[in-house]
Structure 1
């Protein structure tokens, strides 16, 4: 038998009322709402050693991310990697940190996306939808935001991992955290999750617009566009059947077709290799150098797998990968920012949300 009473809705909410036909002494409950919970990867709370260590420990202990047996992996992670990597990662984060808000750019941008979507959806649905965000790793946690939505009267929650392409290490682990949060609720809301949207026409159009706008600002038109996606171990594709690789290539193909280009103008690569085993190839950091050596001295790089600029784009692409290209003789490097909170992106996300709310509102 449970030893603690079930959690109650937050009756202090401004719109809390006594249910129709209920007894006069019935507790007041918030007006029913639908929650839309956006989810992104996560962010450390700071750039110091212990903040970075906590964040990296949570991230790299996820079996969806690193699937080695715990007895083998945890001594390496806790004893070696987390003794060294927090300093290096902290320095990288410090180079892009939003010092004014004291948070990572990913946190700032995700808040901006949430605010823009909240405004748009509230205008469409008259305040019946509550929009918030959470992080898979770090804060605010998925569990805390599910609890908040339930307390404020959300009897239905649409969970939206902001990853266009499906991977077990991204969408699946975000969904895992959402489902675990629901397990802690005495009165569970109805729940839906948003499917990957790697081939959504409006998302592809938003990507194309961002490329066209970036190209319009360059001194000379880039020779080639590099679509750099976050990498995964090849084993995840070959042994686990993860569809990520195919979905990335389809996104690139659809972007190429929308732009009206041929195959010589665009390529697909993968970044952020970690550990000794083979990851999806070609590796971005090597391929940009090869392009420069082959005569493509002017390139642009876009990261279609990221919905918001983060450490992998602002630091890895715009610093490390840029340096590799220029060291190999490249002369013009253009980074095409993530879609972030641009109107075209917000419109695309809002329409996807609207599609997934059908039958609920």
Structure 2
């Protein structure tokens, strides 16, 4: 730390300025016990971007019936996939690994001019705690990368909301650059396609189901671009793979509540495929940057079971890009596109 040039002797010392690189993932409970799950679900389901009902209607239902029962069922599902060795969720394990790999590449590129860290929109480490740590370390600028290739209000937007909300508590706010969706980046699509080729050993399946996280249909009608960007991802993936039309089906999972969500629903679609004679399918989740409860438990549990109960035989889940080197390189390139003018590469 040093005193600013020309400052009086009693001026507080400040740390040399850095640029922060902050990646953000959805979130994770601290454990799969009832109270950990309840805290996490309460934060998640109280977000107006996730459930936009009037709080006078929603909160009594949430605090009463839902948060009394759902922590038990969600906790059981998390226990099935929990990283017991590290005592954390797979999403947290993977996000830590992604951050370490990205930090190594960033250090090669920019040296000690940058600081790389990660936060969670819900749960820990919180956006507030990590931003505070970055500011304390001297970050006067932050490039913020929500780990969602496709933009959606309940994912990218709420991550940005929380970041800006946290800025309200900072005496000296760092400059912020938020990263736009990278749905049509050729390097992202190529990394996705390469993961499919590796998983399928170069074979062309009769059906590859691209299952994206769902959202209410009215969000689309209100102008949210998520549905269109999911369709674009599937199309670009098919073109990069060089496959004919009709092989990749775009579907949506994790339906919640009674209103109509984006269709077709994955769990229903895979069952219908099995009934139609497509008894050997593969499933990929392009909207998730890290494997999590929705992929490791929902797809390999409920969705797989629906397929098999309808007569399906071979069900292959293709993992998310996770900490694959090609995925980390995509992150670095996205950061490079957004950090220009703030940091110069090392000589």
Report TM bin, short chain: over 0.9
TM-score with structure 1 setting the length: 0.93
Shift of 1:22: 3.8
Aligned length: 343
Shift of 1:288: 0.6
Question: Which residue is equivalent to 2:80?
Answer: 95
Question: Which residue is equivalent to 1:66?
Answer: 51
Q: Secondary structure at the match of 1:324?
A: helix
Question: Which residue is equivalent to 1:138?
Answer: 123
Of residues 334, 345, 348 in structure 1, which corresponds to 2:316?
A: 334
Alignment of 1:236 with 2:219, yes or no, is: yes
Shift of 1:26: 3.9
**Counterparts of 1:79 and 1:97, CA distance in 2:** 27
Question: Which residue is equivalent to 2:325?
Answer: 343
Question: Which residue is equivalent to 1:310?
Answer: 292
Alignment of 1:259 with 2:214, yes or no, is: no
TM-score with structure 2 setting the length: 0.97
Question: Which residue is equivalent to 2:39?
Answer: 54
Question: Which residue is equivalent to 2:113?
Answer: 128
1:141-156 correspondence to structure 2 within 5 Å:
141-156=126-141
**Structure 1, residues 34-92: CA drift from partner, whole Å, max 9, x if none?**
00111011000000001000100110011100011000011111110111100000000
Of residues 333, 337, 341 in structure 2, which corresponds to 1:355?
A: 337
Alignment of 1:170 with 2:174, yes or no, is: no
Shift of 1:23: 4.3
Of residues 190, 193, 196 in structure 2, which corresponds to 1:208?
A: 193
Of residues 258, 279, 282 in structure 2, which corresponds to 1:297?
A: 279
Q: Secondary structure at the match of 1:263?
A: coil
Shift of 1:263: 1.5
Question: Which residue is equivalent to 1:3?
Answer: none
CA-based RMSD of the aligned residues comes to 1.1
Are the aligned partners of 1:223 and 1:297 in contact in 2 as well (CA < 8 Å)? no
Alignment of 1:250 with 2:235, yes or no, is: no
Unaligned runs of 5+ in 2: none
Shift of 1:344: 0.6
**Counterparts of 2:130 and 2:205, CA distance in 1:** 43
